[in-house]
Structure 1
């Protein structure tokens, strides 16, 4: 039996990896083992995937990585393996060469609304054939929902179902998944229903580079061209879009706006396009919006002590070993008290503390979610829009064979009171659903909801002042 097993492994190692693969069988196994090991020791959210047997999943993927017919397929298997963690901060990214060769989209932009694939952008050369607002019903002869479930969702690392649908339909060329994703130069065939309820079909070539495409876009498709956007709305309500927190210059631009913002009757902070960046940038801005200290994120991370782990194995035999049991089960944690944003770091004369509405969306993530955790404890701030991305935490970066990389979420983050937002998203106080009209109406329902709420706050303030007199 031992000889047969050895011969089987030799056959797998020598013949299972095809000639077009540069990554050897040994390297393939090592890459898979690295992901399994690092997640086993460091992943922070195993409790959110209670049905996942991580060790058994690792064993099940060993023959899959060896059977992959190319380096690209090997990386697809790794992506599927890590996607079983259901975490948006734990994912695999293949090298640039593989991405550029295999990850391509046709000149069409899709967006999700009500679990439908809506055409929100199309190249001008195809616009007469595939109108904006059309609903894609089939891709390569397969119904959209089946295509997503079978060929797209298994490769998406996400802790939230709404992001899985959003990303799956929209597509992510860098991470190599999407409803229309495929190899450069291949043809994708779609069937669709137009806004006039006419059926149609179209074949398109997948292109590696769409930067030169002349687009027709739906009116509601937001273009993130500036980090900070400011304008004054009716009733002296000031609107500030903070589209990223990645640069210190964002704080500098916000500070320059303070003299104007201090004249405002109300404030709208738009984070709908903010995918995060640096939490310190988010905190530095929020300090100008409160007179009171705000509680932020509580966090914890798993800790390892080899000797305590060894002692914990004897917990069933000796009472002295019970206190080490969590180390042997991998459930020992280092807990950090909630971060506190100190309002007195900024002089009161420089602050803008007025009724404030913060706009949120499914794209609001990472440091922007940290911003919202702080802001949600302020009484004068209201969150309006959609549940957020729902994934954050410190990623542990891992180099993989063949030049790719992976990340494992190593820090668990919650509200100060222990409530989770990873896996569900930060919930708005006022929910504004994203329907198809979201992309085509010139009327911004989320912004209108915010200005309506701010108007009511102004009326309340005036009524209170009148009663006092």
Structure 2
């Protein structure tokens, strides 16, 4: 129990000192969530029950880069042979094995007895309130944590499907077939030639190899009329890798993001506490403002990659995004906001990028919390 209480306190105080989006109202809500979680922890039974509490607790910050990673002992090689997504406000299966492919894209009515609305509310309450699509993505990585024995799916057509977990090494997903001229296909990047246009599907930015593959086909891009980047479902990785690809479309240094983060000043804090106890100070606002030991540093980050710059400077570009265009994938899109000859289409993106810190917990898990906040260079919130 001591370790559990210590972990709740670690999460509370780490967020206070690192999270870059605090307001007075949010600080009050966070304190209350902390006190509520302490009480519930004292009544918690098993370690999995405790981690469900922690997921609820960290979700109160309503941030796409703030969440709980589970202890290794919870993890398993078992998965369910379906992947969910939201299409036109309907929960559907978008990926499965050959055995269940006739259930693809059928509207779902219930999951394990919960209506779709209640099901999504439960998921959002443990991941990210403001983006159910990203919450759904993380939920599917944690399916073993939520549904250990079976998954019951009921469809609007009154069909139903009962699934048991399978070893993920044995699951063979049905791949969508494309009647297109595929130039190259890897896990990270797919390049397709369609008449005089080039479609580049970027699946993630986790490996430097994606940059190498992209630049191998520069002559093909130069001969094309337009380049279309598809970043739907791209959950990010490393923004430096994203910037390396973007560099081909800019001649000089280009702005990437407006970043901000907390600075903890021990001397300022000490001075504040001393002033607080001086009897000749009357104004409570002075107390509060002086006692605050944090302030934010804000700057516009820029990128220059001389090796690759400007090779596609005037090439027309279209970027397709959706609510699962997330993290460094959003950085990629942001880089093009002020570039001429560019259009961005699709829904809003996820709305969360930045640099998270990873805080180890005594009970074996990890608390991830955003430490560097990010906005568009003009100050607008990402969307």
> TM-score normalised by the shorter chain: which range applies?
0.7 to 0.9
Q: Give the deviation of 1:29 after TM superposition.
A: 0.4
- Residue by residue, what CA displacement relative to the aligned partner does 1:258-287 show, whole Å, maximum 9, x if unpaired? 122111221112222432222222112211
Query: Which residue among 126, 144, 156 is the counterpart of 2:127?
Result: 156
Q: Is the 8 A contact 1:231 1:238 kept in 2?
A: yes
Task: Give me the whole-angstrom Cα distance separating, in 1, the residues matched to 2:197 and 2:142.
Answer: 39
2:29 corresponds to which of 34, 53, 71? 53
Distance in 2 (CA, whole Å) between partners of 1:49 and 1:138 is 36
Q: Judging changes above 3 Å, is the alpha-carbon distance between structure 1 residues 374 and 403 closer, same or farther for their aligned structure 2 residues?
A: same
State the alpha-carbon separation in 2 of the partners of residues 126 and 176 from structure 1.
Answer: 18
Tell me if structure 2 keeps the 8 A contact 1:80–1:154. Answer: yes
1:341 and 2:303 aligned:
yes
Q: State the TM-score, normalizing by the size of structure 1.
A: 0.71
* SS of residue paired to 2:217: helix
Aligned to 2:85: 111
Residue 351 of structure 1, CA deviation:
3.6
How many angstroms apart in 2 are the aligned matches of 1:347 and 1:335?
Answer: 27
**Partner in structure 1 of residue 16 of structure 2:** 40
- Residue aligning to 2:361: 400
- Report the structure, 1 or 2, having the larger strand content: 2
Aligned to 1:328: 291
1:391 pairs with 2:365: no
| Alpha-carbon offset, residue 107 of structure 1 | 2.8
Aligned match of 1:453 = none
In 2, the alpha carbon distance for the partners of 1:229 and 1:48 equals: 46
Larger mean Cα displacement after TM superposition, 56-65 or 43-52: 43-52
SS in 2 for 1:340: strand
- 2:139 paired residue number: 172
Considering only CA atoms, is the larger Rg found in Structure 1 or Structure 2? 1
Deviations 1:101-129 (CA, angstroms, capped at 9, x unpaired) = 9xx654333221233211334444445xx
Unaligned 5+ runs, structure 1: 1-24, 426-469
- Bigger RCO of structures 1 and 2 (CA < 8 A, at least 6 apart): 2
Which of 68, 75, 78 is the aligned partner of 2:51?
A: 75
Please name the residue that 2:182 is paired with. Answer: none
Which stretch shifts more, 72-81 or 368-377? 368-377
TM-score, length-normalised on structure 2? Answer: 0.86
Q: Which residue of 2 aligns with 1:204?
A: 163
What is the CA–CA distance in structure 2 between the aligned matches of 1:252 and 1:72, rounded to whole Å? 42
TM superposition shift of 1:399: 0.6
Equivalent residues, number: 373
Report the Cα distance in structure 2 between the residues aligned to 1:386 and 1:48, rounded to whole angstroms.
32
Label 1:376 to 1:310 Cα distance change in 2 as closer, same or farther (>3 A).
Answer: same
In the alignment, the residues of structure 2 paired with residue 346 and residue 124 of structure 1 have an alpha-carbon distance, to the nearest angstrom, of 43
SS in 2 for 1:45: coil
Q: Shift of the alpha carbon at 1:173?
A: 4.0
Verify the 8 A CA contact 2:334 2:376 in the aligned structure 1. Answer: yes
SS at match of 2:198: strand
Shift of 1:62: 0.6
Gap change, CA 1:136 and 1:372, over 3 Å in 2: same
2:154–2:161 Cα contact (<8 Å) kept:
yes
What is the root-mean-square deviation of aligned Cα atoms in Å? 3.1
Measure, in 2, the Cα distance between the counterparts of 1:351 and 1:280: 19
Match of 1:252 in 2: 212
Aligned to 1:227: 188
**Measured at CA, do residues 418 and 277 of structure 1 come closer, stay the same or move farther in structure 2, by a change above 3 Å?**
same
Q: Could you tell me which runs of 5 or more consecutive residues in structure 2 were left unpaired when the two chains were aligned.
A: 179-184
The structure-2 alpha-carbon separation of the partners of 1:189 and 1:114, relative to structure 1 and needing over 3 Å to count, comes to same
2:240 corresponds in structure 1 to: 280
